[in-house]
Amino acid sequence: MTRNWNDINWIFEPDGSLRDIYVQDVTISDWENLIDFLNLNYEIKFGEDEKKQIDKEYVIKYLKDETGEMESKSMKIDFNGVNFHCYFFLPDQIEFDIDPREIKTINDFESIEKFMVSISKTLKNQVTLTGENSPEFPLFKIDFEKDVNIVLTEKEATELSSNQNSALTELSAIKTRFMMRFFPKTFENKILKSANEPYRPTGKDKNVW
pLDDT per residue as tens digits for the range 174-189: 334 444 455 444 444 4
Instruction: Render 150-209 in DSSP notation, one character per residue.
Output: EE--HHHHHHHHHT--SHHHHTTTSS--GGGGTS--S-SSSSS--SSS------GGGS--
Q: What is the largest CA-CA distance in the chain?
A: 48
CA–CA separation, 26 and 23 (whole Å): 7
Could you tell me which residues come within 8 angstroms of residue 21 by beta carbon, excluding any fewer than 6 positions away? Answer: 84, 95, 96, 97, 98, 112, 115, 116, 119, 127, 128, 129, 130
Q: For the chain, which residues score pLDDT lower than 50?
A: 166-180, 183-195
Residues 44, 38 contacting (CB under 8 angstroms):
yes
* 4 secondary structure, DSSP code: -
User: What's the pLDDT at 199?
Assistant: 73
User: What's the pLDDT at 197?
Assistant: 57
User: What's the pLDDT at 173?
Assistant: 37
User: What's the pLDDT at 164?
Assistant: 65
Q: Give the chain's mean pLDDT.
A: 87
pLDDT per residue as tens digits for the range 5-39: 999 999 999 999 999 999 999 999 999 999 999 99
Give the predicted TM-score (pTM) of the model: 0.85
